[in-house]
Amino acid sequence: MFKDKGTDMTLHYKFKQQIYNPETLSGKFRMKRFVRILGEYLAGKKGKALDVGCGMGVATFALEKLGFKPVGIDTSKTFIGKAKDLATKKKLISKFYVKKATEIESLKEVFNTVVFMGNPLPHFSMDELDTAIRKSWNVLNIDGIILFHYMDWVERLFSSYQRVLVEKNQENEVMLSYHSMLDTTSGAFERLFVIPERGEFFKGRFYIWSPWLLEYLLKKNRFKKIESDNLEGSLWITKATR
């Protein structure tokens, strides 16, 4: 009999944690890519950087490599614990806190840049991202940069959405997932995930984001010089200045 673990994306991250771990091969590969992307889009910028939805710190440590003084925040205690352990082990200056994106003012710090890397946007409803962007404006210096690295889910839904997906992790465990619901009143879809070997199933809820939606929220919250670039496939960068 399968155990129902509820609606809980931490199980999805647990299954795919190698990707988010800065010490694994895929984590190191992602960090190199983030160093390249952040180096390009934050060229000439230095100082304090806030990494929102930092996970285990792949982008936070990339920011440190580029000479920033980074702070990473995430809602996952496990990820923040791992990021803190890594920073101590490698004698890095990056700081990490368990905190929601909508609580960044409580850090009581001012930043030169705020980044959302590695597609954290599906976790945010329209209201939550609106609040997070407004608060980012409040904690940024004048001319500070806000940067989003994310998937255009509208493009993905039109072109290559897979209603049934079979994924494997590095341990060769299989995870099946099935499209279960599209909710156009909140802009989200749900999938049902099944990990047969663990005898577990859970639901994941993903908010749909696309460049024009994000650009609208940035404009509404007084950001200037808003630009979006298509990196590859459905991956985008949107950058704006306070």
Ligand X SMILES: C[S@@+](CC[C@H](N)C(=O)[O-])C[C@H]1O[C@@H](n2cnc3c(N)ncnc32)[C@H](O)[C@@H]1O
Residues that bind ligand X (CB under 6 A): 20, 52-55, 58-59, 73-76, 79, 100-101, 117-120, 123
Q: Which residue, 118 or 211, is less far from ligand X as judged by CB?
A: 118
Buried b / exposed e along 167-204 (16+ C-beta atoms within 10 A): eeeeeeeebebeeeeeeeeebbbebebebeeeebbbbb
Closest CB 59 distance from ligand X, rounded Å: 5
Closest CB 191 distance from ligand X, rounded Å: 15
Q: Which residue, 54 or 217, is less far from ligand X as judged by CB?
A: 54
Closest CB 51 distance from ligand X, rounded Å: 7
Q: Which of 149, 160, 169, 175 is nearest to 5 (CA)?
A: 175
Strand 48-52 versus strand 200-207 pairing type: unpaired
Instruction: Tell me the residue nearest to ligand X as measured from the CB.
Output: 118
Q: Where are the alpha helices (DSSP H) in the chain?
A: 10-15, 17-20, 25-41, 58-65, 77-89, 126-139, 153-159, 211-220
Q: Which residue, 51 or 144, is less far from ligand X as judged by CB?
A: 51
Closest CB 167 distance from ligand X, rounded Å: 15
CB count in 10 Å sphere of residue 39? 14
Backbone angles phi, psi at 102, to 5 degrees: -85, 0
Q: Which residue, 106 or 225, is less far from ligand X as judged by CB?
A: 106
Rounded-to-integer distance, Cα 138 and Cα 143, Å? 12
Q: Which residue, 137 or 199, is less far from ligand X as judged by CB?
A: 137
Closest CB 1 distance from ligand X, rounded Å: 29
